[in-house]
């Protein structure tokens, strides 16, 4: 069984965050992303553990802390948290609310995402998109004052491994 490393996913998300906030970086906004595995203790209380290893089905919480180390506030700050391939967003865990989501990392809309589906009888209906299809989350943070920080977070589940099929001759 393969183990997926959240460190790898943290690195991938960190690269995406850095490129998304190139402009903010000039304003001295720093982003620190962490991943923690969510486990329950013997009393059923959630505990955070190091996120260096995770198995399919396990729950990971991403936290991105945006810190303004500058001497002036940063206006119109937008935080984007990509959901890497191999991870599935867990509905209703994006905080603070409200957040927006995207299926492609480019076009964002209010959660829950919706799509128009054409039925076999020709009618069209609007349906909710499964949260597992979300590829990014976004928050409009407004102004981040000097020497202040804000945190966004969301939970993802390590996607189940798809069994490789082989054809024997």
- 119 within a domain of the structure (yes/no): no
- What pLDDT shows up at residue 54? 82
Contact residues for 72 (Cβ-Cβ < 8 A; gap 6+): 27, 146
- 79 within a domain of the structure (yes/no): yes
Q: How many domains does the chain have?
A: 1
Q: Which stretch of DSSP H or E encloses residue 20?
A: helix 6-20
Split at pLDDT 50, 70, 90, the class of 69 is very high
Average pLDDT over residues 52-67: 90
- What pLDDT shows up at residue 139? 97
Q: Are 46 and 59 in contact (CB under 8 A)?
A: no
- 125 within a domain of the structure (yes/no): no
Range of the domain at 22: 6-93+139-158
pLDDT at 169 over 80: no
- Using DSSP bridges, classify how beta strands 109-110 and 59-68 pair: parallel, antiparallel or unpaired: unpaired
pLDDT, tens digit (0-9, with 9 covering 90-100), for 86-136? 999 999 999 999 999 999 999 999 999 999 999 999 999 999 999 999 999
């Amino acid at each position: 069984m393969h183990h997926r490393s959240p460190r790898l996913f943290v690195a991938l998300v960190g690269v995406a965050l850095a490129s998304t906030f190139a402009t903010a970086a000039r304003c001295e906004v720093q982003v620190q992303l962490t991943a923690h595995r969510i486990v329950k203790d013997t009393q059923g209380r959630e505990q955070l553990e190091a996120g260096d290893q995770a198995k399919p089905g396990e729950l990971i919480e991403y936290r991105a802390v945006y810190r303004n180390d500058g001497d002036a506030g940063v206006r119109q700050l937008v935080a984007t948290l990509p959901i890497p391939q191999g991870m599935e967003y867990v509905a209703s865990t994006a905080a603070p609310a409200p957040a927006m989501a995207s299926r492609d990392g480019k076009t964002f809309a209010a959660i829950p995402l919706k799509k128009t589906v054409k039925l076999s009888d020709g009618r069209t209906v609007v349906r909710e998109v499964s949260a597992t299809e979300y590829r990014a989350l976004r928050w409009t943070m407004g102004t981040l004052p000097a020497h202040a920080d804000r945190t966004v977070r969301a939970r993802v589940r390590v996607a189940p491994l798809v069994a490789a099929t082989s054809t024997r001759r």
